[in-house]
Structure 1
Amino acid sequence: MGNKQFSQAQKLTILKHAKQIGPKEAAKVAGVHYTTVYEWKRQLKELGEEAFLEHQPRRSGRGEKEITPEQESAILQVWNDNPAFGPGQVRSQLRRQGTTISIRTIRKVMEANGYTAKQKQNQVSAPERFEASRPLELAQMDILEVTINKVRVYLILLIDDFSRFILGFRLLEQTSVDEVIQLVRRAVDQYGKMEELLTDRGFVFYSWRGINRFEKYLENQGIDHTHARPHHPQTLGKVEALNKRIKNELFGQEHFSTLEQAFSALTKWVEHYNHKRPHQGLGGFLVPAERFHGQEQKALDDIANSRDVTAQIQDIERSIVNLVLAPDGSVTLYLLGQPVVIKGGSHV
């Protein structure tokens, strides 16, 4: 199936046949890929018949570029494995597998197979963005309310600000200070201690009368506790975005009869998010685990050299030691995210 050129009148004739025999069958008769017919169909709907016939396509001498069966199969496989992905995320995942396909080709294949782009909401003034400079410098925690089989439950998420890596989660019928403390304690035991924790002023995180047990725990651990400004959820933007994603992709798509079923599905979702899903906030090619575990540059080098990095990610080990150069020229040694102190109280 080589590159072909058609006049607008010929395209319209093919589209009229497609109404009778179907777009894919009409594409076979015309000798083009079925995505091309779907693209013409979209243009006809947008322009109307008269404007469609008068339309002069850009780069008319190039013809219709062929989409190979291998490309189509690769695109649909990634999309099938990750149904919440858009064309950009599919492209990133393919790049991680060592395959480069243009986003235009990916979008054409996806749209011809039922993909519909989400409508963008009207943008309000963007909040000021901030980001930690290394793993465990700052963590964010929030509580999301969801419904399972008509029962209200609560999802507590703890994420690393720098990498968006999910450090831990809880799915509970009731929130409590004890559960929040246990979540942080387990994350510290598994990954190391965060320097600062950002939360809202919910009752498990904050007391308007003195200091509650969670705040006391953080104080004893030497973890700075910062609160988002009241009625200003953008401060917790990263974890809020994660809340929305989980709600839309998991709890909004699947029905769970029990808390145990939901927890099992959530565990798989988090594993996929941390280790397999390229994150747009990390440049579109990295997964959170690569950035959190100090494998960012290696992964980017492998992707640039068309190596498949998707099979390596499960074997990532935590980068125990990091050297950080500050703007003032000083160098600090971090062990599991914590600055190493030598005699005299100064950092290495």
Structure 2
Amino acid sequence: MPHTTHANARLTPAGRLALARCVVDQGWPLRRAAERFQTSPTTVQRWANRYRTLGEAGMVDASSRPHRTPRRTPTRRERRVIKLRHTHRWGPARIGGHLGMHPSTVHRILTRYKCARLTHTDRATGRAVRRYERSRPGELVHVDIKKLGNIPDGGGHKALGRTQGRKNRSRAGYAYLHNAVDDHSRLAYTEILTDEKKDTATGFWERAHAYFASVGITVERVMTDNGSCYNSHTWRDLLADQEIKHKRTRPYRPQTNGKVERFNRTLVQEWAYARPYRSEAEKREAFTEWLHHYNHHRFHTAIGGPPASRVTNLSGQYT
């Protein structure tokens, strides 16, 4: 297909036609036409020749695609690439290793055939995961628990090395991050607690619900996985008292609760493993600062700004 003329191009198709007619129809010398249209004699000659050969149709940009691609991967091999992708859910590197091809070549084939990224597909079925976003804050809140090892006094393996860090870790125990993320705004409320029992989970949600209410968000639905704490009568009765509908993810489909799963990965990368901590207290102090940064300052690519930009009562509170 023809390319659109570059925005800063000196000669548009109409300008090229006028230039070519000056040379071909009116007999202007190349240098005179070049001075008149403020371009080079070589450019003048090129468009004049195109005009002689193709007429007005030759004044538009031609496709940059080559007429022949003798080194293109044979169609039969491309089909093998696509078949491996759909049957085994392999990425470019593994497919390339299996077929003796460079991963970049495999990637181009997958792109050309419009294959969805593995991160955007359901591993079990291979179907593309349907992305959605609720239209207003509070319409759906995702809740989940992330289990992390505590940092022993003196530091873990990142600070002390793997051998000494492993010895310290056995005495450190675990922390359970209870997370609630609003689907529309991505605003997050998190507490670091000692377990994932039903009373702990319901206590967390009472405080999370109060937090969302304090910033003007009325929670309508809550989505969780099928963990025992979320299947308890205590959890069910709490949401019923608050007139909130409880939605559960499909078994073995964490993608259904994808926004809080993505939040879990973000907090691990940008806080938990971002630097070596010397103690659990230092790590938790850093988390308080990071969560404020996430809600108020961190640019979220999916929404074009920080979560606070989508919450009326938080907008502008970038302190």
TM-score by length of 1: 0.46
Shift of 1:257: 4.6
- Secondary structure in 1 matching 2:204: helix
Contact 2:120–2:129 (CA under 8 A) maintained in structure 1:
no
Tell me which of 119, 135, 142 is aligned to 1:140: 142
Larger mean CA deviation between 238-247 and 252-261 belongs to: 252-261
Match of 1:243 in 2: 264
**TM-aligned CA distance change 1:122 to 1:131, over 3 Å:** closer
Shift of 1:266: 1.1
Contact 1:148–1:256 (CA under 8 A) maintained in structure 2:
no
Match of 2:300 in 1: 279
Residues 262-293 of structure 1 show CA distances to partners (whole Å, capped at 9, x for unaligned) of 221111111001000110110x3x11011022
**1:159 lines up with 2:184 in the alignment:** no
Letter in 2 for 1:314: Y
**Greater Cα radius of gyration, structure 1 or 2:** 2
Letter in 2 for 1:199: T
- Secondary structure in 1 matching 2:258: helix
Written as runs of structure 1 = structure 2, the 5 A alignment for 1:80-99 is none
Match of 1:184 in 2: 205
Match of 1:290 in 2: 309
- Secondary structure in 2 matching 1:245: helix
- Secondary structure in 2 matching 1:164: coil
Letter in 1 for 2:254: P
**TM-aligned CA distance change 1:255 to 1:137, over 3 Å:** same
**1:270 lines up with 2:315 in the alignment:** no
Give me the whole-angstrom Cα distance separating, in 1, the residues matched to 2:195 and 2:148: 12
Residues 221-263 of structure 1 show CA distances to partners (whole Å, capped at 9, x for unaligned) of 1110000000001111111011011112221223345443322
The unaligned stretches of length 5 or more in structure 2 are 1-116, 122-126, 152-168
Match of 2:222 in 1: 197
**Once the two structures are aligned, what percentage of the paired residues are identical?**
30
**TM-aligned CA distance change 1:165 to 1:219, over 3 Å:** same
- Secondary structure in 1 matching 2:228: coil
Shift of 1:121: 6.8
Match of 1:173 in 2: 194
Give me the whole-angstrom Cα distance separating, in 2, the residues matched to 1:219 and 1:242: 26
Give me the whole-angstrom Cα distance separating, in 1, the residues matched to 2:242 and 2:180: 17
Match of 1:45 in 2: none
Give me the whole-angstrom Cα distance separating, in 2, the residues matched to 1:147 and 1:160: 26
**TM-aligned CA distance change 1:205 to 1:257, over 3 Å:** farther
Match of 2:52 in 1: none
Contact 1:148–1:257 (CA under 8 A) maintained in structure 2:
no
Give me the whole-angstrom Cα distance separating, in 2, the residues matched to 1:216 and 1:255: 42
**1:314 lines up with 2:285 in the alignment:** no
The unaligned stretches of length 5 or more in structure 1 are 1-119, 297-311, 316-348
**1:206 lines up with 2:245 in the alignment:** no
RMSD over aligned Cα, in angstroms?
2.4
Residues 87-138 of structure 1 show CA distances to partners (whole Å, capped at 9, x for unaligned) of xxxxxxxxxxxxxxxxxxxxxxxxxxxxxxxxx9776443111221111111
**TM-aligned CA distance change 1:230 to 1:277, over 3 Å:** same
